[in-house]
Amino acid sequence: MPVTITAGDRETSESGTWRVPKRDLITGLLVLLQREEIDICGHLPESETLIKELSNIRIKISLGGHDTYGAWREGQHDDLVLAAALACWRGTKKEPPVIGTRPLF
């Protein structure tokens, strides 16, 4: 399922490609963690890195009201956070992913 991460204010889909605000991805992941609907398995090779990236996420609101989501310092990464957030977001979709005309499951 192709996804473009945007700075927009709403999720859209056109011709099978989704445009999803980074805000929705990050907050969706954080809500699932806070509700304890998902957990980070400590046995995974990158679990410590994911926890570190999550602890570095900051939400900033500009004077004009524009929000940004990402690592709080320059040079910090949020790749694993976005990967986990995309997986959780995909889990909320009802239709199965389709490649060509054949469903994957």
CA 27 to chain centre: 8
CB atoms within 10 A of CB 78: 17
Q: How many distinct helices (H) and strands (E) make up the chain? A: 3, 7
pTM, full prediction: 0.76
pLDDT confidence of residue 1:
81
**Regarding predicted confidence, which is higher, 98 or 90?**
90
CA geometry: angle 10, 18, 28, nearest 5 deg: 55
Per-residue pLDDT of 74-96, as tens digits, reads: 556 788 999 999 999 999 887 65
Kindly give, in sequence order, each residue whose CB lies less than 8 Å from that of residue 27, ignoring residues fewer than 6 positions away.
69
When pLDDT is averaged across residues 55-78 and rounded to a whole number, the result is 72
pLDDT at 70 over 70: no
